[in-house]
Amino acid sequence: MAAPKLIVFDLDFTLWDCGGTWCDCLTSPFRSSGGRVLDRRNQHVTFYPDVLSVLDFCDAQSMPIALASRTEQPAWARELLDLLAATHRFAFAEIYPSSKVKHFSALRDATGLEHESMLFFDDEMRNITEVSRLGVTSVLVEEGMSMELFRKGLSQHSGSSDASRAEG
């Protein structure tokens, strides 16, 4: 199988850490101060250390990237992406409370790409399981996105068979 045609990331505990909680458990308003993004209680929101390198790699390889997040506060997630100066990095963003199956159906419709050509990273096994059933190569992110895990996902996608798409 060829390289993925779309790389899809979850947000909470996959691309960013919101002080050990989900972004919808933060307290708005949010602000950028001294290069840091903080909520009203000074909870720090930051990308995991390798995330910008992963996004840079995708850009350099002309790999389109998307988001699929089930947050209860989509406006907050979008605001945090803006404050982290990352909104422009994602060609597609499905950010709303729903199942990841709905997110991936919307991504398929928006891109015209089949699920089998997508690679997905998420920290929740239930999402990995349901998205894998669609034919998406799915990788469990246990300690935040890293370049090593990203490369593993690329390798898994290029060598994946229909019988083994989920990685845990």
- Mark residue 132 as left, alpha or beta (left: phi above 0; alpha: psi -120 to 50; beta: remaining): alpha
Of the candidates 10, 39, 122, 123, the residue annotated as catalytic is 10
User: Among this protein's residues, is 12 annotated catalytic?
Assistant: yes
Enumerate residues 6+ apart whose C-beta is below 8 A from 163: none
Residues acting as catalytic residues: 10, 12
